[in-house]
Chain A
Amino acid sequence: MPRRITYRDALREAMDEELARDPMVVIMGEEVAQYNGAYKVTQGLWDKWGDKRIVDTPISEAGFIGMGIGASMLGVRPVMELMFWSFYTVAWDQIVNNAAMVRYMSGGKINCPIVIRGPANGGTSVGATHSHTPENIMASFPGMKCVVPATAYDAKGLLKAAIRDNDPVMFMESTKLYGEEWDVPANDELPGGELVIPLGVADIKRSGTDISLIAHGRAVITCLQAAEILEAEHGISAEVVDVRSIRPLDEETILDSVSRTHRAIYVEEGRPFCGVGAQIAYTIQSKLFDELDAPVLRVTSLDAPAIYSPPLEALQLPTPELVIEKALSIC
């Protein structure tokens, strides 16, 4: 039996292994140490690594994110947890003007090897302030990288690569996935002895021939569910492409898939306007116009702030049913 661990455990393993590999790696954030993490992602790390490597910060995102960026200029490699990615707003100047721009404005004299990680998802009835999915915003700034893993396997491998990367990486997780289990081989079962997944490499999560469902984050899971039903009930073979990393982006795999299926839908939990799907739909139409048998469609969150009311919030996010409906409209 392959080893199965949760998405949460996979993230913790990645941090634990990187802490062991590089003495400059520091985990910092609100409640990450003594409290063991608001979502228990960092559980046990403080006991194991102590105060120097696992650092509790006050609720002061501009202060501690900015501090991490400054420390990274002197070679420290902070992995900073935002309890919710939604809180990026109060650290935004530090993230965008300092982490993302300082290399450029210094003519390449500086780089910021930081990771900012935490959950970025709706669907938990916490209202609009705690349900932001800002991957499209992060990815729109050259200088930043943006990664959104959908499975425990990807979460571990991508986080390890993100920590080793010498540019600022915005790493977005999902509280809805933290407790889900996937196959993640132990290191001694892996040929290289560890799991590192390069940024900028998409993954075909399910092969198909009739339509490409392209997605990132938890929407990948939604697509996989939709694909099963499309196959079983409608005889449609859907390929599911998980982009995994939005910037850098593996366009080749996306375009290759669509050039075989001739139909594409982008599915994401973000909003439609200037969403990740908008960029990818643009790329597909501009590069594969003659290959397309139908317009490129999108399934996104409904275009309003995240609603609190639990049954309505469920309607606001992409569902397999919505994906199936859109797929049937072009297949």
Chain B
Amino acid sequence: MAKKSASSESAADAAINRSLTPDDKIKLYREMVRIRRFEQVSLQHYQAGRMGGFLHLYIGQESVATGVVSLMGENDHIITAYRDHGHALAVGMTMNECMAELFGKGTGCSRGKGGSMHYFAPDKNYWGGHGIVAGQTPLGLGLAYGLKYRGLKGAALAFLGDGAVNQGAYHESLNIAELFDLPVIYVIENNGYSMGTSQARSSAFGNSLAERAAGYGIAWDTFSGEDIYEVRAHTHAAIERAHTECRPTVLEVKTYRWEGHSVADANKLKYRTKEEVELHQREHDPIQRWKRVLLDEGVCDEAELKKIDKAAQQEAEESAEFAKASAYPAPETIFEDVYWEVDQMTTAGLTGRHFFND
């Protein structure tokens, strides 16, 4: 059931990519640059001590979320793990709400209750942002179940990292996806390392991680995420399968994270070499690659792209100012958003004691 990876040239010729207008192509560039600038600015403020917890950066992987999300239609839904900033911005969440969440402010997308790993925007079909490795994979299955139950033609795109493929919840999800014919697409973003453990040291596999899907009778595909044309061409086939056949797919996208597992990863240059990281930064940067495509195709000129870079940088810096200037949530909000019935002050929410503070 596996398909051979299309070369970049043939990926560019795929109908789904030929249909891109120059504006669409520039938009893809803008989205990737916005994600990178947002994260670079967030890193500065993290290092300045303005944020708590962890910061898992997506830098180097931007083409994957951007490419996949660019294919999403009205009834396509997305869910991911804790490296979630890129997906959030790609679906249209604003830098302000995302940055403010990192600062723990009340204006954050989760009102300061979730932090970096827990961004959500159900109004944009974005269901998080999940902290436990592979914990989101059954939820993605459930989104697909919900779509099918409601008779909607859609797909649930459930992202996971290469470190998540050995969790039981993921395998249980694959089994049920096939048994119940659910339109879920598991997108393994394989950046080569599950925290500090390389793929070879963490996973038993033959040729690829996605190939495990064959054991469940699920279609699978593996390809490079460096070129957004490729991401779109391969993912489009999976979305078509979900829409027309109501069947699952496992996609494995080869990608690379430039930073550590999180910013707190002190060993980021111990489990891999500096040369390896630099090689990816120099020769496999998805943004630079797309930039070359745009210039080669004559979609726009360098000056225009510089303008986009500058605007993204400014937007990111402004979002940090917005976050700084925002207020922390009021202490009484600690007890909000725990129970729906309590928040809505329904009869059920007003019956019996829900909180036990004294």
Contact = CB atoms under 8 A, between A and B. Distances in A.
Nearest to B97: A107
B332 interface: no
B354 A248 contact: yes
Given A108-B111, A165-B341, A248 B172 contact: no
Interface string B146-171: 11011000001000000000001100
A75 B146 contact: yes
B305 to A, nearest CB: 35
Contacts of B228: none
A235 B150 CA distance: 61
Interface string A59-100: 010111111111111111000000000000000011001100
Residue among A93, A108, A286 facing the most chain B CB atoms (10 A cut-off)? A108
A18 B351 CA distance: 21
A201 B118 contact: no
Interface string B118-154: 1011110001111110011111111111110110000
A52 B346 CA distance: 30
B141 A67 contact: yes
A295 B106 CA distance: 45
Nearest to A283: B356
Nearest to B152: A74
A69 B355 CA distance: 23
Interface residues of B, number: 61
Contacts of A24: 149
A168 to B, nearest CB: 9
A75 B148 CA distance: 12
Nearest to B122: A109
A167 to B, nearest CB: 5
A103 to B, nearest CB: 6
B352 A73 contact: no
Contact of B337 (A108, A161, A251): A108
A71 B168 contact: no
B145 A167 contact: no
Interface residues of A, number: 55
Given A67-B141, A107-B110, A94 B351 contact: no
Contacts of B295: none
Given A70-B140, A70-B145, A74-B143, A105 B353 contact: no
Contact of B348 (A106, A198, A249): A198
Contacts of B337: 103-104, 106-108
A71 to B, nearest CB: 4
A63 B169 contact: yes
A200 B351 contact: yes
A109 B120 contact: yes
B338 interface: yes
Given A67-B145, A199-B348, A250-B353, A58 B118 contact: no
Interface in B303-358: 336-341, 343-344, 346-348, 351-356, 358
Contact of A103 (B172, B175, B338, B354): B338
B176 A103 contact: no
A8 interface: no
Interface of B: 77, 79, 108-114, 118, 120-123, 127-132, 135-147, 149-150, 156, 168-169, 172-173, 175-176, 179, 336-341, 343-344, 346-348, 351-356, 358
22 contacts: A26-B149, A52-B149, A58-B176, A63-B176, A66-B135, A66-B137, A66-B142, A68-B145, A69-B139, A70-B138, A70-B144, A71-B145, A94-B139, A97-B132, A104-B113, A104-B337, A105-B113, A105-B129, A107-B112, A199-B352, A249-B356, A279-B356
Q: Give 3 closest A-B pairs by Cβ, nearest first.
A: A70-B142, A200-B352, A66-B138
